[in-house]
């Protein structure tokens, strides 16, 4: 028999890492915002930040969503609800049943 790794006899297993829900949501929303940047806003160098509020149901599905504070650029506000949020799914299971208020930033590099 060939050993497959270090022995764990008499040792504790390493702790299971906890899920940082906020970091996962941020990562997914940033990636979705980059994919969903409206072409006209990009062409006219329009940037902004949309404050998005949303709640997930017990299964992690989207229960409600709203723009809490608009960016001042209607196409960015619309893209947040119509594209960014749907593109960010699936949400982590640990986020189920929670509500979030997050900024969605649209900026040019």
Q: Is residue 14 part of a domain?
A: no
Q: Is residue 76 part of a domain?
A: yes
| pTM attached to this predicted model | 0.78
Q: Is residue 3 part of a domain?
A: no
Give DSSP secondary structure letters for 27-56: HHHHHHHHHH--HHHHHTT--EEEEEEEEE
CATH number for the domain harbouring residue 38: 3.30.1150
pLDDT in tens, the chain (109 residues): 445 545 555 566 655 556 688 888 889 999 999 999 999 999 999 999 999 999 999 888 889 999 999 999 999 999 999 999 999 888 888 889 999 999 999 998 7
Q: Is residue 38 part of a domain?
A: yes
Which residue is listed with tokens 């899920």? Answer: 19
Domain of 72, in residue numbers: 21-106
Q: Is residue 7 part of a domain?
A: no
Instruction: Say how far apart CA 23 and CA 35 lie, in whole Å.
Output: 19
**pLDDT for position 89:** 82
**What total number of domains does the chain contain?**
1
């Amino acid at each position: 028999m060939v050993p497959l790794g270090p022995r764990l006899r008499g040792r504790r297993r390493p702790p299971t890492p906890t899920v940082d829900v906020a970091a996962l949501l941020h990562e997914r929303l940033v990636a979705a915002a980059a994919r969903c940047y409206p072409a006209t806003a990009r062409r006219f160098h329009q940037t902004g930040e949309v404050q998005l509020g949303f709640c997930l149901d017990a299964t992690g599905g989207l229960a409600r969503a709203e723009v809490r504070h608009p960016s001042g650029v209607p196409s960015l506000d619309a893209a947040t609800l119509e594209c960014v949020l749907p593109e960010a799914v699936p949400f982590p299971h640990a986020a189920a049943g929670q509500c979030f208020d997050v900024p969605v930033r649209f900026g040019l590099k």
